Chain A
Amino acid sequence: MGMTFAEKILAKKAGLKHAVPNQIVIVKPDYLLMHDNSSAIVGKIKNELQEFGIANPDMPIIVLDHVIPASDEKIATNHQKTRDFIKKYNLKNFYDVGGGICHQVVFEKGFAKPGTVIVGSDSHTCSYGAVGSFATGIDRTEAAALLLRGETWFKVPESIKITFENELKPPVSAKDVVLSIIGDIGADGADYCSVEFHGNIGALTIDDRFTIANMGVEMGAKVAVFPVDRITRKYLSQIGLQKGSFEVLWADRTAKYKKELTYDLSKFEPVVSCPHTVDNVKPVKELEGLEIHQFLLGTCTNGRFSDLEVAADILEGKTVAKSSRLLVLPASKDVFEKALKKGVITKLSKAGGMILPPGCGPCLGAHQGVLAPGERCLSTANRNFKGRMGCKEAEIYLASPATVAASAISGRLTDPRNIS
């Protein structure tokens, strides 16, 4: 019997010929991602680290990104403890504040490779499925155990096959695709499953795939994975990963899936995810005119160069409504520098955008751009949970960069197809 991608990679990494759903396998992940929670993770095992050391010093990747630059003394101390830990154990995969959001950094620095197993103490670790990595989130305690032991268990997941047909019609984007799918199958529609994308994958750029894989966890998925094709190889070679430096694995044609779904990319339209769950999805045209106080363009979901560029093209020569504010959050320093060089940052700034340092910023409500009671935010991020942006009496709507930019002009929700 053929295997799905998830069955195949977990079998291989566990040293088995075959794996079936619900089987428990023991795997040594290629990488373990940690971020601002590193000091809490390390704090759990201070003495044990003295006794046993780090099982595989090449495994941890640490990126400080969640609350940067530090907002108060406590956060600053956490960052300092993390730097001390890096120094003490001489770890090489460390990216200090200002480098970017961990998931973007893991991509840009070439850690996210086809055929790898990556776990991270952050739920959006699933993003690396964009380049054929089996990548998933874990909690802090498991990250601590992995530092000590270097291996963990996985239950081989059942898989869902999603096949794409035809092509997107801009300004409809990958964000509209993934929000629509989540609206369709529900926030638990892929619970525990490997979501594997098939069909006309060539119609989606690497950035599109990143956005879709990033939101896999919002449908409950363990991993959300794309096959490796010409576009993936081209991207990998651009960041210095040549053929032969990674292994490509993909599902067999005869693999068995729990569910098979097919979507016509040309049929998607601009959508918005309404408060307070990601699966509460409605067409933008049904809610046009809704007043918005804050716009957020960026985050690990939609903070790449192509996202900023789409928004800048819409906002060029226009200005953000006086009643609103636009926050721009590039996903990394590299993204910021490219956007600066190409004039994208200037366009966004001239239109009234406020450029924030490359990090997680307002997305999780810890600092920068916290909302007030009664305020409404239209954001390109991935979660609209009650209280997510620091205030439980505020509302968060999720949409694409094009919808955010088009709406920022009037300060009201606007279908980007109606902007000339």
Chain B
Amino acid sequence: MKIWKYGDDINTDMLFPGKYTYTSSTPDEIKPHLLEDLDPLFASNVKEGDLVFAGKNFGCGSSREQPVVGLKAVGIQAIVAKSYARIFYRAAINQGLLLVECPEAVDAYKEGDEVRLDAQAGRIEIGGKSFSFPKLPPEILAIRDAGGLLPYTLQALRKAKGGG
């Protein structure tokens, strides 16, 4: 498992350049350009189960969801950051991607540290030290647990239809 570490205010243009926004929507179209202007090595080297670490205000900028769709599609286990911009945060819930908001864990991490993540318990271990992070409210967790907003919405619509 590799940790991809970045700084503060990583914006949506760095995560997925605007010039591709209206021509790339599916995971396969998105993957080759993922983080293109931030880290040219990312797209060709990222592996399933990797983690992204970052500073404050991760995902600021546009409402484009391709960064989230792409990070989920390449199998990123979670993003661990000091804080997130709100549209990105919401988009992650909607795609079922785990975001860990934990400034202490980001500060504690040094290259080579072993990292273990327990999403269920809301804990992350960095080089032997354990940190807790806030869990989502139950009604929002239900969206992520359903696999994202569209499966969640369809469940609700089918239930309403069946019930009616």
Our pick among B37, B150, B154, B157 for the contact of A386 (Cβ within 8 Å) is B37
Complex: A277 Cα to B157 Cα, angstroms:
42
A69-94 interface bits toward B, Cβ cutoff 8 Å, 1 = contact, 0 = none:
00010110010000000000000000
* Interface flag for A365 (CB, 8 Å): yes
Q: How far is the CB of B164 from chain A (nearest CB, A)?
A: 12
Cβ contact of B150, chosen from A123, A144, A279, cutoff 8 A: A144
Known contacts A44-B150, A148-B157; decide if A123 and B17 are in contact (CB<8 Å). Answer: no
**CB of A390 within 8 Å of the partner chain:** yes
Q: Does A66 contact B (CB under 8 A)?
A: yes
Contact residues in B for A222 (Cβ distance below 8 Å):
86
Give the complex CA separation of A277 and B56 in angstroms. Answer: 13
Contacts of B77 in A (CB 8 A): none
Q: A120-B63, A148-B157 provided; 4 other pairs, C-beta below 8 A?
A: A40-B22, A52-B161, A139-B90, A385-B14
Is there an interface contact between B91 and A141, defined as CB atoms closer than 8 Å?
Answer: yes
Chain A nearest CB, measured from B13 CB (Å): 4
Complex alpha-carbon distance, A312 and B90, angstroms = 41
Tell me whether A145 and B150 are in contact (CB under 8 A): yes
Q: In chain A, what residue has the closest Cβ to B57?
A: A188
**Known pairs A24-B139, A141-B150; A366 contacts B22 (CB<8 A):** yes
A-B contact pairs, 21 of them (CB 8 A): A40-B25, A44-B150, A67-B22, A75-B23, A123-B63, A141-B94, A141-B150, A145-B94, A145-B150, A145-B153, A187-B9, A188-B60, A191-B83, A191-B84, A217-B87, A364-B21, A365-B18, A366-B22, A386-B14, A387-B13, A390-B18
Q: Hey, what's the 0/1 contact readout for A166-189 against B, CB within 8 Å counting as 1? A: 000000000000000000000110
Interface residue total, chain B, C-beta cutoff 8 A: 43
- Residue A383 is within 8 A (CB to CB) of chain B in the complex: yes
Contact partner of A137 (CB less than 8 A), chosen from B56, B87, B148, B154, is: B87
Partner of A187, one of B21, B23, B57, B150: B57
Residue of A with least CB distance to B85: A220
In the complex, the chain A residue whose C-beta lies closest to that of B151 is A145
Q: Which residues of A contact B56 (CB under 8 A)?
A: 188
> Are B63 and A137 in contact, CB atoms less than 8 angstroms apart?
yes
Residue A142 CB within 8 A of the other chain: yes
The docked-state distance in angstroms from the alpha carbon of A144 to that of B149 is: 9
Per-residue CB contact flags for chain B residues 79-99 toward chain A (1 = under 8 Å, else 0) read: 000011111001100110000
Say yes or no: A139-B87 contact (C-beta < 8 A), given A188-B56, A386-B13.
yes
Chain B residues with CB under 8 A of A43:
25
A361-383 residues with Cβ-Cβ distance < 8 A to B are 364-366, 370, 383
Interface centre among B12, B13, B137, B148 (most CB of A within 10 A): B13
Q: A189's closest neighbor in chain B, by CB?
A: B57
Question: Closest approach, in angstroms, between the C-beta of A17 and any C-beta of chain B?
Answer: 20
Known: A139-B65, A187-B57. A24 touches B87 (CB 8 A): no
A366–B20 alpha-carbon span in the complex (Å): 7
**A95 interface residue per 8 A CB criterion:** no
Bound-complex Cα distance A214 to B85 (A): 16
Give the residues from 117 to 143 in chain B that come closer than 8 angstroms, CB to CB, to chain A. 137, 139-140
CB distance from B62 to the nearest CB of A (A): 5
Expressed in whole angstroms, the Cα–Cα distance for A43 and B84 within the complex equals: 28
9 closest A-B pairs by beta carbon, nearest first, are A188-B57, A139-B65, A139-B91, A385-B13, A364-B18, A387-B37, A40-B25, A145-B153, A137-B63
